[in-house]
Amino acid sequence: MYIYNVTININEDVHDEWLYWMKHTHIPEMLATGKFIEAKMCQVMVEEEMGGITYSVQYTLQDKVHLEQYYKEEAERMREDGKSRFKDQFVAFRTELQVVDKQVATFAPATELLFTYGTLRSDTIQQSVFNRVLSGQTDSLRGYQIATDQVAGRYPLIERATDTETEVQGSVYELSGEDLLLADAYEGNAYKRIKVQLHSGKDAWVYIRNS
């Protein structure tokens, strides 16, 4: 697998016109040559000393033969089109990249939110349950309170509070559906999982007393 990378710094005066042309004319025409599998356009998030805005456009190819064919059959025409439209308003350089390894995250996509207030906030417990440490945000749940009793004398429970302004402090994490099943198994029958709205306005799952 090869990547034909084109890095372009474009003058801000013509940036919007150029960006529209790239997205709606140039890149579609590059793909229409039949040499490239896909194209990815990224803005380079640095402030250039020379000014302007920099982009990286990465065209993926199956093999170098297709890239050599592009150089021979279409490259000059495609480059001249840009030069004729935007003249000296941009600077571009090109790099050939060969993909030597590709790895994909094994974790399922995070589609759920879980609010925790007890042991699941522990890095050690998270590593044991989810095989990784989660990244969470502080939040709170109104209308609930920490119960006076605990599961097995050590695991906290929450329950409805008589004062609706009472809050339970905790953390909210993004999890996959598979992660939630692992959390269910960890919490056990003493808890049940319900959907609540947090102080932040987020809808999340939380484990409460199973009674």
Residue 67 and residue 147 in one domain: no
Of 48, 63, 98, the domain-final residue:
98
Cα-flanking dihedrals φ and ψ of residue 124, to 5°? -65, -45
Residue 74 and residue 17 in one domain: yes
CATH number at residue 34: 3.30.70.100
Residue among 4, 35, 194 nearest 98 (CA): 4
Residue 165 and residue 118 in one domain: yes
Of 64, 98, 132, the domain-final residue:
98
Residue 117 and residue 202 in one domain: yes
Residue 122 and residue 199 in one domain: yes
Residue 103 lies in a domain: no
pLDDT at 50: 81
Residue 146 and residue 202 in one domain: yes
Residue 104 lies in a domain: no
Residue 107 lies in a domain: no
d(CA 167, CA 138): 13
Q: pLDDT tens-digit profile of 123-179?
A: 999 999 999 999 899 999 999 999 888 887 788 989 899 988 899 999 999 999 889
Q: Which residue range forms the structural domain that includes residue 174?
A: 112-209
Q: pLDDT tens-digit profile of 172-205?
A: 999 998 899 999 999 988 899 999 999 999 999 9
CATH number at residue 159: 3.10.490.10
Total count of domains within the chain: 2
Residue 68 and residue 121 in one domain: no
Q: pLDDT tens-digit profile of 83-107?
A: 999 999 999 999 999 999 988 766 6
Cα-flanking dihedrals φ and ψ of residue 113, to 5°? -115, 135
Going 96 to 101 to 109 to 139, the CA torsion angle's sign is negative
Q: pLDDT tens-digit profile of 37-70?
A: 999 999 999 887 888 999 999 999 999 999 999 9
Residue 152 and residue 178 in one domain: yes
Of 37, 64, 98, the domain-final residue:
98
pLDDT at 181: 94
